[in-house]
Amino acid sequence: MNSKYKVAVIAGEKKIEVVEKTLKQPEGNQVLVKIDSCAICTLEQRMYNGVMKRYPFAGGHEAAGTVVAVGGSVRNLKEGDKVAARLLTSCGECYYCRSGHENQCVISFKADIHEGIGGPGGFAEYMMVDAKTLYKMADDLDMSYAALSEPLACCVHSINNAKIELGNDVVVIGNGIMGAFHIQLAKLRGARVIVCEVDEARLESAKKMGADILINSKEVNAIQKVKELTEGRGADVVFCTAAISQLAADSIQMVGKLGRVVMYSSFHPDKPIELNVNSVHSTEMNITGAVNANTRDFLVATRLLSNRIIDPSLLVSEIVPFEKIEYAFERAIDPKTYRIIVKM
């Protein structure tokens, strides 16, 4: 085993540096993982683009790999196990962690996996993490798919927040990777799924994901169309997976009495919208959000992937070797792509 390993760090706008760190042996509950695949998420894209500036930043929180060595206290993992890493930090001690909402932990996103650099650090050859952050995956699962456990887990959390019932009319606004996972999960819950998109290629992709009805929002009034499709009632559930405030406002217009609206996307810039609070009062609609994933959501996601219940094959746009990580980021910021996977 080499005594040094490489980590890719976003050092500034459109600037990536590869640094070397010293490889150590795991102790106690620690596990040393050889990273196989790490996907480029919106967070890393925003850092790379300079939309968010927290430099230097060791990005990469959608990672999967193989266990190389375990500390003496580790019981459930062994060398050779395929694993996905839940890299969103939670302290286990704050009010939110203890009330079962660790996705709202007060230290969320404050990670420092690699000594001296902030960030989850999935764009690296190796990673030392606590055993509790790792989830075993099927031995024969493509590791590029295993790396998508984290985004899928976030969508599982969102679907649970929406309380979908059999036969519900569910609208998914936007068919990026998160919209695509929402479509597949809502179908598993027994819903009729209506997808609103402006891009023809993504509408075609939504059909392959299992969407029942496609609406090109550029060509028709999506709010009116949803009302027509639901005999004037409006949808039971609307997921806003696109980061545009106007679409958040549209989501609220689309939902019917007792309906649930989930603001899934992180809105950047965060432009306020107008809200008719009397209509919230009189229809008993529920407007909520969904952020990150709890421990249980992550477990569910790893099972859905390992057991082939969810197929993410159409969502991997390209697999790029670590040596070409700048190219990988340039591909990732192209809105036509789904997930770009960096292969270590």
Residue 305, in any domain of the structure: no
Domains: count for the chain: 2
Cα–Cα distance measured from residue 267 to residue 249, given in angstroms and rounded to the nearest whole number: 12
The share of the chain scoring above pLDDT 90, in percent, equals 87
Q: How many CA atoms lie within 13 A of 265 on its CB side?
A: 25
Res 202: pLDDT: 95
88 and 109 inside one domain: yes
CATH code of residue 106:
3.90.180.10
Cα–Cα distance measured from residue 210 to residue 331, given in angstroms and rounded to the nearest whole number: 26
Q: Shortest CA distance to 340 belongs to which of 118, 37, 29, 116? A: 37
Confidence of residue 1 (pLDDT cuts 50, 70, 90): low
Q: Shortest CA distance to 244 belongs to which of 152, 332, 174, 339? A: 174
Q: Look up the domain containing 217 and give its range.
A: 153-289
Residue 9, in any domain of the structure: yes
205 and 240 inside one domain: yes
Res 29: pLDDT: 97
Cα–Cα distance measured from residue 118 to residue 113, given in angstroms and rounded to the nearest whole number: 7
Q: pLDDT of 89-129, one tens digit each? A: 888 899 999 999 999 998 876 677 898 898 999 999 999 99
244 and 276 inside one domain: yes
| Mean local confidence (pLDDT), 216-238 | 97
Res 266: pLDDT: 85
Residue 190, Cβ neighbours under 10 Å: how many?
A: 12
Least reliable range by pLDDT among 46-55, 223-232, 321-330, 332-341: 46-55
124 and 18 inside one domain: yes
276 and 339 inside one domain: no
On whether the CB atoms of residues 8 and 116 are closer than 8 A, the answer is no
176 and 285 inside one domain: yes
Residue 53, in any domain of the structure: yes
Confidence of residue 292 (pLDDT cuts 50, 70, 90): very high
Determine if the pTM surpasses 0.85: yes
Q: Is residue 305 over pLDDT 90?
A: yes
Average pLDDT over the chain, rounded to an integer = 94
